[in-house]
Structure 1
């Protein structure tokens, strides 16, 4: 009773007065501490236990993983005298939850090697890990495994996770095929996954068509549906449609907007350049705006060159998320675009004083069975040596003959023009493209996953590379997908 009420102190006192304690009592206390994120107290109880069973081991693994201490979770996992499917689920899900997808996939393969049949929960976690990585090869293998072992896509959330995985790996057509094969089951999660996937690829019209199909067949959308629909409107510039859906959500479906819905509307108006309307939403919403809402405002100010509003938004971001480097970087970039170099220096000095470090640009590309990673200004290590920078130099020279002119406004530091061009040349996605041209066969797709938003210069660069080298290039950046083909991008210059 005390544990259900969250009264851990009372529960422990009651536990200590028990004349005899069975394993259920011990496990209840450990689970109570773990659920309350008091994992060290749970560890103390675990160490005191006269006899431990699978439940106690699994609870400790799950508890450590959920509080971000994966190394300790793995220690417990490796020490277990016996493991069941729950043990493997806890550890694999823990890796996925803590953004460690490579470890999750490696452990999943290890689980299969010892002939443990995965359940739906593990499959969903593994598909989520693959979606985080953004590369399709493992995902296709998992899909084949599901077919070969007669898994039902209706089991748990497997269908939704499979749609999400294909969409986040850049294969929206495959995501749609999976959706079409199971949409008759009418599970809201499947519909939400395809709408969110279409939004990620900038296919706003398609997402709205799916939404209207839901309405036609009488399936009631939920809060998550409208987050996906509003995001789809954001990424395609469908301002009027977004306003209509926001109104529909409240009036027809009686769904009260949450902070995520207001955030979408702020982003929708901000991207479109209606900064005053975005600010009005922030002022009028029934809850305090969070750092994500203000960050959307700040990003819009950078895009549209509104310094005054940007400074105001940045102050809120820094107050709400003082250790998040993005607020400082966006403000610095706003000042740099306005050529206010003294203010740029002040922001960078503030970052140094507060110990805030800018997240470096990182791009990953899959080639020859491996994921290769590039940081801005740095080559990959290994057998390719200086070939990547050499290839990149060759590509830039060829593109200039085809009309490419580096966009020096994207270099937001006060240096000479020639040096600005050198800075632009070593953006991580450019090095990833050069590597792809070296290592992937002629005509092969070059698929890049980037941790930050792609800049305008790299966007122009990719378009011309796709035409000159006759390559399809897919880039998943922090916000969305860009599909470059024959000199054009799927985003239609709206991102």
Structure 2
């Protein structure tokens, strides 16, 4: 079994560095044939039950102490879907485990549910006579990447340098991937610069490292400079744009990927669907869905959730429900899919359907999590049912062992404020076990605006600004509350404070999809003087207050 890193990234033409199971020599073949239990282990063993019987026979005969026999047993136990813990016990209790035994179990543990066990076994290896080699380190770097142990990973890199194996291509690539996992772009690029020749695996890892460090344009420069790309390369670059919320680039890159004839993997499709959801690009999202069906892309929980989320956010709630019900009938809808469906129903005012799904969770063997309760609280809040929201909130810890977070308090405050129970909403804020943020105070402030409570609204606005002085929404809502109560002077004063603080109002934005292309329009203020300057570009029909924009929009735009 090749190391985790090699199995994930090697091309078919690359030779894995892992040693063969056993040297194929006549002497070893004769040794295996000399013992019935060892022969059966080599030719007939098909389950852990068989392995335990044969291992017991080897122990009884004394052959279990032989490194060749023990290596056979360890290799079988460490295979996919078997019992790596049994393999680990063999290594720990063997009088003289060889490097193959150590490396095989470390590799399997690093790929398992508890990668820290691989590190623990490596520490024991350091106390043995066996020295770690170039086959040891890739698995350990993969374990540290999964654990997020950047500092320890750096120490491991130092050990590889000291032992003279850091220059091995597989060790180097695993090291780059480890640094990439924590966004250590400088360390990753420094190692990348030492590559004597083009290495697609190293390039992919550097793209990830730069993206996680926020250097997306640098990642694109690496991508553009590659003479050859794999689907993993495209996936890394698409994910980089998606992580940076540069959705237009995601869709453009996906189109380029199609033009180059590269089949996208599930990760690419999930990223593209997420961007379609963010842009409201229903037509493009539906095209991706059709592509999945047309090309027989394997549906998994990630793809199902991405499709449900996309359709919900694009306003096609019936299509989202169709995808969800199909996935549920096939056993593909995991909790994340349920949460997305419930949230979509809640936002679209279908609270009964959202609550009905919530009541069915346990019958499908699923337990609600913190995201589930955000959907439930949103459903009750948007439907004007604050008492039901309070009951759901109270049941989180008492019935479902889910500790309410700040986002749940925000949903409860929003539900109470929408219903006009403003003082009760403020009481909830005052009783919170954590400090409220600007979003929580903003929920109360929105309720004050809706129900015309200027005194409480002013108090909520002050707290919201204190939590986040750069958030324009608190200023705008406060000014709106005052203006609605006829206090235009104080409202103008709030906007003056906003200007003095250098806080700009986020412009209103509308998007429309035409022929698969999303057009974005930003609402911007424009002065009379500026309008006069634009006279050459615009024709005013004052009789019906209609403003016609001529063809030349490249120089001046009000909506852009």
* TM-score normalised per structure 2: 0.64
Closer, same or farther: CA 285–67 of 1 in aligned 2, 3 Å = same
- In our comparison, the structure showing a higher alpha carbon Rg is 2
Distance 1:293 1:24 in 2: 49
- Alignment equivalent of 2:361, drawn from 183, 205, 214: 214
3-state DSSP class of the match of 2:150?
coil
Closer, same or farther: CA 377–20 of 1 in aligned 2, 3 Å = closer
Cα distance, 1:188 vs structure 2: 1.7
State the match for 1:159 in structure 2. Answer: 304
3-state DSSP class of the match of 2:400?
coil
Q: Does 1:70 align with 2:216?
A: yes
State the match for 1:235 in structure 2. Answer: 382
Distance 1:368 1:56 in 2: 39
State the match for 1:82 in structure 2. Answer: 228
Contact conserved, 1:23 with 1:51, CA < 8 A, in 2? no
Distance 1:199 1:183 in 2: 19
Closer, same or farther: CA 309–47 of 1 in aligned 2, 3 Å = farther
State the match for 1:58 in structure 2. Answer: 204
Of 291-300 and 363-372, deviating more is 363-372
Cα distance, 1:276 vs structure 2: 1.6
Distance 1:317 1:68 in 2: 28
Cα distance, 1:34 vs structure 2: 3.4
Closer, same or farther: CA 113–282 of 1 in aligned 2, 3 Å = same
Q: How does 1:45-444 map to 2 (within 5 A)?
A: 45-51=191-197, 53-153=199-299, 155-184=300-329, 185=331, 186-376=333-523
Distance 1:12 1:338 in 2: 65
Contact conserved, 1:121 with 1:156, CA < 8 A, in 2? no
Cα distance, 1:16 vs structure 2: 5.3
Of 211-220 and 240-249, deviating more is 211-220
Count of paired positions:
392
Deviation per residue, 1:418-451 (Å, 9 max, x gap): xxxxxxx99xxxx9xxxxxxxxxxxxxxxxxx9x
* TM-score normalised per structure 1: 0.71
Cα distance, 1:270 vs structure 2: 1.2
Cα distance, 1:27 vs structure 2: 3.4
Q: Does 1:19 align with 2:164?
A: yes
Distance 1:221 1:67 in 2: 33
Distance 1:226 1:164 in 2: 17
Deviation per residue, 1:200-252 (Å, 9 max, x gap): 21111121122223345553222221111111111111222222222232222
Q: Which runs of 5 or more structure 1 residues have no equivalent in the other structure?
A: 380-384, 397-424, 432-449, 451-495
3-state DSSP class of the match of 1:252?
helix
Closer, same or farther: CA 320–143 of 1 in aligned 2, 3 Å = same
Distance 1:321 1:197 in 2: 28
State the match for 1:37 in structure 2. Answer: 183
Deviation per residue, 1:27-73 (Å, 9 max, x gap): 34434443333323433333244455223211221222233332222
Note the aligned Cα RMSD (angstroms).
3.0
Contact conserved, 2:179 with 2:185, CA < 8 A, in 1? yes
Contact conserved, 1:127 with 1:139, CA < 8 A, in 2? yes
3-state DSSP class of the match of 1:365?
strand
Contact conserved, 1:207 with 1:232, CA < 8 A, in 2? yes
Deviation per residue, 1:107-142 (Å, 9 max, x gap): 112112222221111111111111011121111111
Q: Which runs of 5 or more structure 2 residues have no equivalent in the other structure?
A: 1-118, 120-140, 527-536, 549-558
Contact conserved, 1:183 with 1:190, CA < 8 A, in 2? no
Distance 2:500 2:191 in 1: 42
3-state DSSP class of the match of 1:364?
strand
Closer, same or farther: CA 369–19 of 1 in aligned 2, 3 Å = closer
Q: Which has the higher contact order (CA 8 A, sep 6+)?
A: 1
Contact conserved, 1:204 with 1:238, CA < 8 A, in 2? no
Closer, same or farther: CA 347–69 of 1 in aligned 2, 3 Å = farther
